[in-house]
Amino acid sequence: MNRRDLLSGLISGVGVSLLYSELSFGDEQDRKDSEGQNKQKDQTEQKELKTIYLTIDDGPGKHLESILQNLKNGKATFFLVGRAMENLEGYSLVRKALEAGHQLGNHSYSHPFFSRLSLDKAKSEIEKTDLLLEKVYREAGKINPKLFRFPFGDNGCMGCKRKNEHKREINSLLENLGYSAYSWNLDGEDWKYGRGKTVESILGKLMMIKSGDIILTHENVITARYIVPYLVSSGKYDLKVLEK
Ligand SMILES: [Zn+2]
């Protein structure tokens, strides 16, 4: 049971005991007032939840199954690498994620730096994964929203401050293929584990989450064992999928 369930359980428990004591005095109006207050209290609890968008990149891999098990009370968007979806196990896990209400996005076919790719290669990276995603969405009877995330956040010219022709061409290619690029505004830093970050410091950073944040994580042991369980059980967040 998470904190939210516990709280709503406590609130409805209070409701039941108040109802019992007030009925014994036969005061119907007081009972209604009390129920109204409890309803308001319940709504306040709901309102306090921050809507956040958890994104999990680089799958499907060996941690997807446990991530899905831990995501029963929340939804995530998985930005997937096409070549990892080609085997039966990867594909069926992705299908399972989609059927559980999560969103799937395109994270290229082989996870390259797009600033180093010709336009033809970039097109093929997007299209090969698109074919796989179209198949899985079609089989599940859903529509692929065509969400894209650039590997390494490299949208054609990393760190470019001025206008750059390659970046412009890559972005119009993406648009022509029907895709929209999604970045993030909070780096979960799961990928820094073992590179100077501890589990405590990674979870500590998550305390800074604001409503509306798009959180970057990756399919790895830190996300599976710590980040996802924290986000779904803290009782602070409403985890939703990215939509176009
Ligand atoms: Zn990636």
128 in the same domain as 87: yes
Contact 180/244 with Cβ under 8 angstroms?
Answer: yes
155 in the same domain as 38: no
99 in the same domain as 182: yes
Please report which confidence band the pLDDT of residue 223 belongs to, taking 50, 70 and 90 as the band edges: very high
Please report which confidence band the pLDDT of residue 9 belongs to, taking 50, 70 and 90 as the band edges: very low
Compute the distance from residue 71 Cα to the ligand 1 centre, in Å: 20
Domain span at residue 22? 3-47
99 in the same domain as 26: no
Total-model pTM: 0.81
Compute the distance from residue 183 Cα to the ligand 1 centre, in Å: 11
Question: How many whole angstroms separate alpha carbon 30 and alpha carbon 32?
Answer: 5
Contact 104/136 with Cβ under 8 angstroms?
Answer: yes
Which amino acid, residue 76? A
121 in the same domain as 42: no
Give the pLDDT confidence score for residue 158 in this predicted structure.
81
Q: What is the 3-state secondary structure (H, E, C) of 190-218?
A: HHHECCCECHHHHHHHHCCCCCCCEEEEE
114-171 pLDDT per residue, tens:
999 999 999 999 999 999 999 999 999 999 999 999 999 999 988 777 778 999 999 9
223 in the same domain as 151: yes
Compute the distance from residue 132 Cα to the ligand 1 centre, in Å: 17
Answer whether residue 244 is part of any domain: no
Q: Which residues contact 165 (CB under 8 A, 6 or more apart)?
A: none
142 in the same domain as 72: yes
41 in the same domain as 54: no
Compute the distance from residue 106 Cα to the ligand 1 centre, in Å: 10
Which amino acid, residue 142? K
Please report which confidence band the pLDDT of residue 4 belongs to, taking 50, 70 and 90 as the band edges: very low
Structural domains in the chain (count): 2
Q: Take residue 193 and report the two structure tokens written for it.
A: 């584990």
Compute the distance from residue 64 Cα to the ligand 1 centre, in Å: 15
37-47 pLDDT per residue, tens:
666 555 555 56
The helix (run of H) or strand (run of E) holding residue 50 is: strand 50-59
87 in the same domain as 13: no
52-65 pLDDT per residue, tens:
999 999 999 999 99
Compute the distance from residue 164 Cα to the ligand 1 centre, in Å: 23
CA-closest candidate to residue 218, choices 195, 198, 190, 183: 190
- The answer to whether residue 82 scores a pLDDT higher than 70 is yes
Answer whether residue 200 is part of any domain: yes
Please report which confidence band the pLDDT of residue 229 belongs to, taking 50, 70 and 90 as the band edges: very high
Compute the distance from residue 111 Cα to the ligand 1 centre, in Å: 6
Helix, strand, or coil here: 186? strand
42 in the same domain as 56: no
Cα dihedral value 58, 60, 65, 66, nearest 10 = -10
- The answer to whether residue 24 scores a pLDDT higher than 90 is no
Give me the phi and psi of 39, to 5 degrees please.
-65, -45
- The answer to whether residue 3 scores a pLDDT higher than 50 is no
17 in the same domain as 108: no
Contact 237/74 with Cβ under 8 angstroms?
Answer: yes
Residue showing tokens 């529509």: 143
